[in-house]
Chains A and B, each alone.
Chain A
Amino acid sequence: DAKTTQPPSMDCAEGRAANLPCNHSTISGNEYVYWYRQIHSQGPQYIIHGLKNNETNEMASLIITEDRKSSTLILPHATLRDTAVYYCIVRVANAGGTSYGKLTFGQGTILTVHP
């Protein structure tokens, strides 16, 4: 799976949009971009994923650049409860076999939302 690079920490004011960047310059054509977050020491929680088109769900939006070498997770109206570590992961989703069972986590971005 391709390696990702994220800033170690970011701040955001409550009610503002939080834009979390991720670089994945070695991503392959069959690799998806996944985002998870971990609040305090709870289990990681899935947020969103995409291949090449922008995606939106009830939690966030995912913007993937045309060359797919980077992406941005957008929390449109951050709240204090969004304070967490955010992980960007790229992984093969259609190759079968062991690839489905493994997520390779980096250090993530610590997002702090302040009042």
Chain B
Amino acid sequence: EAQVTQNPRYLITVTGKKLTVTCSQNMNHEYMSWYRQDPGLGLRQIYYSMNVEVTDKGDVPEGYKVSRKEKRNFPLILESPSPNQTSLYFCASNDRTSEAFFGQGTRLTVV
């Protein structure tokens, strides 16, 4: 089954404590992206990757890092989380001919 898997689904952490949200896809897609969703602001792209070792900033990249060492994985790293990064996060993947597939989301709370 075509799938994008994010972990964890829910996370509560404290300000400044580094965390990583993992994302994995099983469709051999070239493109992977991270979005955050906030009330009234909709879904906004954080970072995207066009292939292994190729990443670029989206609309709201501040405070986030990503890496793409393998085609299937695209982790989102918060080096020093702050309360304004409390949000619902989605990972997505697609290739040139397919629609985007989204993960089930990670609800992050930073206190």
Contacts and interface: CB of A to CB of B under 8 A. Distances in A.
A interacts with B: yes
Interface of A: 34, 36, 41-46, 49, 93, 96-98, 100-108
B31 A100 contact: yes
Q: Which 8 A-B pairs have the closest CB atoms?
A: A43-B102, A46-B99, A101-B48, A105-B43, A101-B31, A44-B102, A105-B42, A100-B31
Contacts, number: 61
B67 interface: no
Interface string B43-57: 111001110000010
A100 B105 contact: no
Contact of B42 (A42, A102, A106): A106
Interface of B: 4, 30-33, 35, 37, 42-45, 48-50, 56, 58, 88, 90, 92, 94-96, 99-105, 107
Given A34-B99, A105-B42, A106-B42, A42 B105 contact: yes
Contact of B96 (A100, A104, A107): A100
B95 A44 contact: no
Q: Which of A42, A103, A104, A105 has the most CB of B within 10 A?
A: A103
Contact of B58 (A34, A42, A97, A102): A102
B42 A44 contact: no
B105 A43 contact: yes
B58 A46 contact: no
B19 to A, nearest CB: 20
Contact of A45 (B32, B102, B105): B102
Contacts of B45: 102-104
A102 B56 CA distance: 11
A108 B100 contact: no
Contacts of B56: 98
B52 to A, nearest CB: 14
